[in-house]
Amino acid sequence: DDVRSAETASGAACVNRLFYFAIPPSVFVPIGTSLKNAIIGPSEEEEKEMGNGCDGGDGTGTGTGQQHIGWNRLIIEKPFGKDTASFEKLSSAMGALYTEKHLYRIDHYLGKEMVKNLMMMRYSNAIFEPLWNRNHISNVQITFKENFGTKGRGGYFDGYGIIRDIIQNHLLQVLTLVAMEPPVACSGENYSNYVRNEKVKVLDSILPVELEDCVLGQYLAPEDGSEPAYVDDPTVPDDSVTPTYAAMVLRINNPRWEGVPFILKAGKALNERKAEIRIQFKQPPGAAAMFPGEKIPHNELVMRLQPDEAVYMKMNVKEPGLRTTPVISELDLTYKSSFPDAFNVDAYTRLILDVLRGSQAAFVRDDELRSAWKIFTPVLHRIEREKVQPIKYAYGSRGPAEADELLRKEGFKYHAEYEWQSRSNL
């Protein structure tokens, strides 16, 4: 009644409605049902007869049988289930109430400036797309690191763990944009479905993750005792085996990426806060013979998502002086120094604006989630069924040393002599 009274009082000929579901998934359906019955109405058949709203949106009726001109859209926060079965149950129940055009499943990583930049960088620069395949790329890492623990969220986090909380959604969504085939369009009319169709094709090509391709960890207290261990959180069971760190190898079974490992890493209570995409290229053919006795570092393209957004290309140049010795330098685009006057909007602000515009490209479609859960559900169930013990690592460390061994096994070459320095303060 309050909503309809406010709409009537506004005197507007067209009223658009946006509902934000920042609520537990257990109440998605009850609240969605209440909104449908009391405010949104009517059935899909009635909607089709009424046509579009005044802005070309999804015009609907009201719960009282009066016509409502305008659109109704629902933003839904994760988690979207805990596995394939729970997702299907939730999706089926919400799908009985609303069609996909009403639902905007939000993943704020898809609103980050550098993630939005991925398609522009790939498809508008002639130097990248010809190299973007198994012939030139050795491995891809997508990393999320936090330098703090669960901060009182332990009770919630323990029910999900780092794989469900970060890897299955945020990092996997970034992977799809890195690995997808070129869509028909990246902007303009109907581009939302063009982009999401290609993302689903990539997800359908990824084999289910194997436990043998994973390293799981859980943080201990630091030596000085300044922070609690994960299980010292009073909301976490003393015998919890929930991982706070995971490194996982995903394998894409298609012509572009066969044989290229995609390594997703996420962890809490680590040595730094950052999120990045790191694409390591193969050695140039013949380089070892042309520069005998010299170690030729691998080229890397790095997109730093947060903090200090940047894109830099690690490349080899001759060390200054008389010797012919290769050293790593970089071509660096640091946003704060290159665009000092630019206003970089918050990811949520950008995504809510997309909802108001009716653009769904940066929101997760139901078939994307279905394909994503098929990748992770088997290994999640095995971890829980076998009560796999996570490897302990110290608060403030880089995580389990076993993760470095996993990366070496998958062909990643670490160059300790080089460390990127942010130019944001220059």
Residues serving a catalytic function are: 170
Residue 91 has phi, psi (to 5 degrees) of: -65, -40
* Helix or strand run (H / E) with residue 393: strand 391-394
- Determine the Cα–Cα distance for residues 338 and 23; give it in Å rounded to an integer: 39
Q: What's the sign of the alpha-carbon dihedral 152, 158, 159, 164? A: positive
- Rounded (5°) CA angle 120-124-129: 100
SS (H, E, C) 74-89: EEEECCCCCCHHHHHH
Q: For residues 177 and 196, what is the distance between their CA atoms, to the nearest angstrom?
A: 9
For residues 210 and 213, give the distance between their C-alpha atoms in angstroms, rounded to a whole number. Answer: 5
The tokens for 316 are 């080899």
Asked whether 40 and 17 are in contact (CB, 8 A), the reply is yes
State the Cα–Cα distance between residues 57 and 46, nearest whole angstrom. Answer: 15
Spatial CB neighbours of 386, under 8 Å, sequence gap ≥ 6 = none
Q: Which run of H or of E encompasses 156?
A: helix 154-158
Listed in sequence order, the residues at least 6 apart from 422 whose beta carbon sits closer than 8 Å to its beta carbon are 308, 310, 334
Distance of CA 320 to the CA centre of its chain: 41
CB-based burial, 369-386: b 16+ in 10 Å, e otherwise: bbbbbbbbbbbbeebeee
Find how far residue 56's CA is from the centre of its chain. Answer: 30
